[in-house]
Amino acid sequence: MEDFVRFAIAKGVKKYGFSSHAPLPFHTFWNMNLDSLPYYKAEFYRLKKKYADQIELFLGLEVDYIEGVFDARSDLYDMQDFDYLISSVHFLAPHPDGGYFSVDGKFYNFQKNIEKVFGGDIRLATERFYEISSNMVRKGGFEIVGHLDKIAQNARNCPDFDVKAKWYIDLVTEYLELIKKQGMMIEINTKSYLELGITYPDVQFFPIIKELEIPVMVNSDCHYPDKVIDGYSEVFKKLKEAGITETVDLTEEGWNLS
């Protein structure tokens, strides 16, 4: 954690938030173990004190929404301990033979799971992703919707999927309208921009976000300290081109537009 703070300071960042993947009732290689949560919080407060005169730090979690299994209102830990919560969908559906289908990871596994769980129908899988995502937003318990079109990361490599297809744009637009109705904000995720030239959500949705006046916060979703602001300048330019000139900023008093 300290390396992230040091790199953020070196790159001129004035505020930085941690949002580790929250513990789940079952093990994954990317989610924090429940036993590690006290250490996560203790290390955060140590760093917050140590670097108080150089950077403002905030403590958060990224909480998986798993339909009927887990959500941001879970009593597995006290959500009041955190400055903010991001909620996102990684797990799409249970496997017939146990476990869950994650939309993240290698395309080979994604494609295999589309065949196994959805009979090879990528549109059906995508519609299910947004059905689950909509249920997450209705359930609530968090402030920020994370990488709202994450399924497109792998789906765009499927021959029957097109990010510019009307049915897909309509599906995402309907989801954005629900987010607006529920009064939530969305992250503009820059993680893949420098490498792949894509954002989550895709830049084609920026004008719709502007039209709906949904608050946005920019997040690098980095897993390596040297990438704390990767893609920021390029993506901020894309936002401005879409007419989005203000982003949400967290302060000790709460969220502000800046």
pLDDT of amino acid 27 = 82
pLDDT of amino acid 79 = 79
Rounded CA gap, 173 and 176, in Å?
A: 5
What is the span of the domain harbouring residue 221? Answer: 2-257
CATH number at residue 240: 3.20.20.140
Is the distance from CB of 18 to CB of 85 less than 8 angstroms? no
Structure tokens at 43: 């290390």
Peptide bond into 207 cis (omega under 30): no
For the chain, give the mean pLDDT. 94
Q: 41-47 — which CB contacts under 8 Å span 24+ positions?
A: 41/81, 43/1, 43/2, 44/1, 44/18, 47/1, 47/2, 47/5
Nearest to 177 by CA among 208, 135, 204: 208
pLDDT of amino acid 100 = 83
pLDDT tens for each residue of 62-111: 999 999 889 999 888 787 899 999 999 999 877 767 778 899 989 999 99
Length of the chain in terms of residues written: 258
Structure tokens at 48: 């917050």
Backbone angles phi, psi at 37, to 5 degrees: -60, -45
pLDDT of amino acid 257 = 86
pLDDT tens for each residue of 218-234: 999 888 999 999 999 99
Least confident of 28-32, 93-97, 158-162, 179-183: 93-97
Rounded CA gap, 102 and 113, in Å?
A: 8
More confident residue, 92 or 240: 240
Residue with tokens 């920021």: 232
Rounded CA gap, 98 and 116, in Å?
A: 12
Q: Mean pLDDT throughout 180-194?
A: 95
pLDDT of 188 above 80: yes
Into how many domains does the chain fold? Answer: 1
pLDDT of 215 above 80: yes
Q: Helices marked H in 51-203 — which ranges?
A: 107-118, 122-139, 152-155, 166-181, 193-196
The rounded percent of the chain whose pLDDT value lies above 70 is: 99
pLDDT of 178 above 80: yes
